[in-house]
Amino acid sequence: MKKYGTVAIMGRPNTGKSTLLNTLMNQKVAITSPLPQTTRKNVSVRYEDEKGIIDFVDTPGIINKVEDLIGRRVNLEAPKALGSVDVIICLVDISREKTDEENKVIGIIRKSDAKKILVYNKIDKAIGSKDHLAEYNYLEDEFDKVISISAIKNKNVKSLINLIMDFLKEGKPKYGKGEMKIPMTSKEFIAEIIREKAYLFLRKEIPYSVATRVNDVEDKEDVIVIKAEILTNNERYKKMIIGKQGKKIKEIGYNARKELELMSGRKIYLELVVRVDKHWMESFS
């Protein structure tokens, strides 16, 4: 019998949580961008090696002060993951100065009885004036283990897996092979890829004013036809998303299509439109 456990990855925005999950899985399972709270919902994936099985939960970044509806709802996601986890990874970006958001994250983690690992990330960037490790050292007393990694460079990530395995006990997974309950359907994952590209090309212009939705996926013999839409709550934002002569929406659609083709090994036809829905944030769940 192998070891088994559930592990939550927590931290402030842009510490590299989704990048770490992608590196752990050796494939893209979560979207990434420089914008805060790109991850809006808890994402669960299963890792397995010769030692055991780990169900990882990637959580949205915790923001200290939020004023918009989406930010408030996203902030409630991470604590949901802590109810039944065996290990919590607290990921900090030591290439950035410490802020009150770290205190908020630690305050949430303190409430859990799970084993806790403090992970210093982005050691590849924390050089010279960007090395803020000393600002985080005081946290170490609250954790069972401490490790330094670079998620994007895959440095010491295997050592992190070994630390996690040391805390886990032998047991059966909650779900059997092929039964792992992933929150995202294929349509939702495609929508996330489109949203990632929207963030990439729109930058900070409308970070929380967009959502994506896939309405139909049809697998024809020679091509997969996807009909999707980008939702925004303002006619002005719609014009920005479309761009002059449709340049922005074409860039978003082209890059989303190319990545989906790379992932699927199939030819993709992506029909992408922009629609104004003033109430989309209210229906976000």
Output 83 or 111, whichever has higher pLDDT. Answer: 111
Asked if residue 192 is part of any domain, the answer here is yes
Looking at 116, 142, 170, the residue that finishes a domain is: 170
**Residue 35 sits in the same domain as residue 149:** yes
Among 54-68, 174-188, 198-212, 236-250, top mean pLDDT goes to: 236-250
Asked if residue 210 is part of any domain, the answer here is yes
**Residue 221 sits in the same domain as residue 250:** yes
Asked if residue 181 is part of any domain, the answer here is no
Kindly indicate the confidence band of residue 61, based on its pLDDT and cuts at 50, 70 and 90: low
How many C-beta atoms surround the C-beta of residue 65 within 10 A? 9
Task: Give pLDDT tens digits for 118-141.
Answer: 999 999 999 999 999 999 999 999
Residues 163 and 145: their CA atoms lie apart, in Å, by: 8
Residues 124 and 242: their CA atoms lie apart, in Å, by: 37
Q: Which domain holds residue 128?
A: 3-170
Asked if residue 90 is part of any domain, the answer here is yes
- pLDDT of amino acid 180: 46
Mean pLDDT of the chain: 84
Asked if residue 180 is part of any domain, the answer here is no
**Residue 9 sits in the same domain as residue 144:** yes
Asked if residue 86 is part of any domain, the answer here is yes
Looking at 144, 170, 196, the residue that finishes a domain is: 170
- Does residue 37 have a pLDDT over 70? no
Q: What CATH number does the domain containing 209 carry?
A: 3.30.300.20
Output 146 or 76, whichever has higher pLDDT. Answer: 146
- Does residue 41 have a pLDDT over 80? no
- Does residue 179 have a pLDDT over 60? no
- Does residue 33 have a pLDDT over 80? no
**Residue 38 sits in the same domain as residue 164:** yes
**Residue 165 sits in the same domain as residue 194:** no
**Residue 92 sits in the same domain as residue 165:** yes
**Residue 165 sits in the same domain as residue 225:** no
**Residue 132 sits in the same domain as residue 212:** no
**Residue 17 sits in the same domain as residue 123:** yes
Kindly indicate the confidence band of residue 38, based on its pLDDT and cuts at 50, 70 and 90: low
**Residue 199 sits in the same domain as residue 76:** no
- Does residue 219 have a pLDDT over 50? yes
- pLDDT of amino acid 200: 82
Query: In Å, how far are 71, 119, 125, 164, 234 from 144, measured between CA atoms?
Result: 31, 11, 25, 11, 48
The answer to whether the CB of 102 falls within 8 A of the CB of 92 is yes
**Residue 158 sits in the same domain as residue 190:** no
- Does residue 178 have a pLDDT over 50? no
**Residue 21 sits in the same domain as residue 144:** yes
Q: What CATH number does the domain containing 39 carry?
A: 3.40.50.300
Kindly indicate the confidence band of residue 39, based on its pLDDT and cuts at 50, 70 and 90: low
Asked if residue 60 is part of any domain, the answer here is yes
Asked if residue 71 is part of any domain, the answer here is yes
3-state secondary structure the chain: CCEEEEEEEECCCCCCHHHHHHHHHCCCCCCCCCCCCCCCCCEEEEEECCCEEEEEEECCCCCCCCCCHHHHHHHCHHHHCCCCCCEEEEEEECCCCCCHHHHHHHHHHHCCCCEEEEEEECCCCCCHHHCCHHHCHHHHHHCCEEEECECCCCECHHHHHHHHHHHCEECCCCCCCCCCCCCCCHHHHHHHHHHHHHHHHHCCCCCCCEEEEEEEEEECCCCEEEEEEEEECCHHHHHHHHCHHHHHHHHHHHHHHHHHHHHHCCCEEEEEEEEECCCHHHHCC
- Does residue 30 have a pLDDT over 80? no
Looking at 121, 143, 170, the residue that finishes a domain is: 170
Our count of domains for the chain comes to: 2
pTM for the model: 0.71
The answer to whether the CB of 227 falls within 8 A of the CB of 214 is yes
